[in-house]
């Protein structure tokens, strides 16, 4: 896993639900066909209401028209990110679009687990309302070892909550890869 994640911020409000992250009508694509997988990236965050997209500016799409990936690699959000249904496609869609990390005040428990278990995106938590301090398009850098987020555009650094054991699982590529790499899976013997 990278120790530094750098990229542009995409800022959202509170209570972003899984149907906003990947609307149900876009769950028809195959997860094993590389051409169809790209569609999950194309429609990532397409259900966010226009006035909440790219807060505080509003109406900034996460993925530009005609593209399959986003110019934004770090999502900044308020509390309760990933609420709604237990849609495993939600963190997958964000990863396919190019997101590497989410920094939110809090997460819906199942969304957080899906991020970690699948090794899709790193779910950081913050005690501050960063979505009121950071602007969409700001250049950010997350130091995974130091648990800090630096807004390079504004020259300000914020402390993030440590990932703890979650870091090892995400670094391994998800819970099953972590179990395999650490010899935690029972071997099948005939």
pLDDT tens, position by position, 111-149? 999 999 999 999 999 999 999 999 999 999 999 999 999
Which CATH number is associated with domain 4-181? 3.20.19.10
pLDDT tens, position by position, 48-106? 998 888 887 778 999 999 999 999 999 999 999 999 988 889 999 999 999 999 999 99
Domain boundaries, the chain: 4-181
CB atoms within 10 A of CB 37: 16
- Asked if pLDDT for residue 190 goes beyond 70, the answer is no
In this structure, what token pair is assigned to residue 171?
């670094």
pLDDT tens, position by position, 141-157? 999 999 999 999 999 99
Nearest-angstrom CA–CA distance, 148 and 135: 17
The Cβ-side half-sphere exposure at 3, using a 13 Å CA radius, reads: 2
């Amino acid at each position: 896993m990278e120790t530094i994640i750098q990229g542009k911020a995409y800022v959202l409000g509170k209570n972003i639900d899984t149907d906003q992250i990947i609307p149900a009508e876009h769950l028809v694509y195959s997860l094993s066909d590389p051409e169809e997988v790209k569609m999950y990236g194309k429609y990532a965050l397409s259900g966010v209401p226009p006035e909440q997209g790219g807060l505080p500016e509003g109406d900034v799409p996460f993925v530009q028209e005609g593209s399959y990936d986003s110019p934004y690699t770090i999502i900044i959000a308020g509390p309760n990110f990933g609420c709604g249904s237990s849609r495993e496609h939600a963190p997958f869609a964000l990863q396919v679009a190019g997101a590497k990390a989410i920094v939110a005040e809090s997460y819906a428990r199942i969304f957080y687990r899906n991020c970690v278990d699948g090794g899709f995106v790193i779910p950081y938590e913050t005690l501050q309302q960063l979505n009121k301090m950071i602007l969409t398009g700001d250049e950010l850098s997350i130091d995974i070892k130091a648990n800090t987020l630096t807004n390079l555009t504004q020259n300000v650094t914020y402390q993030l909550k440590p990932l703890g054991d979650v870091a090892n699982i995400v670094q391994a590529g998800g819970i099953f890869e972590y179990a395999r790499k650490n010899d935690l899976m029972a071997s099948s013997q005939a």
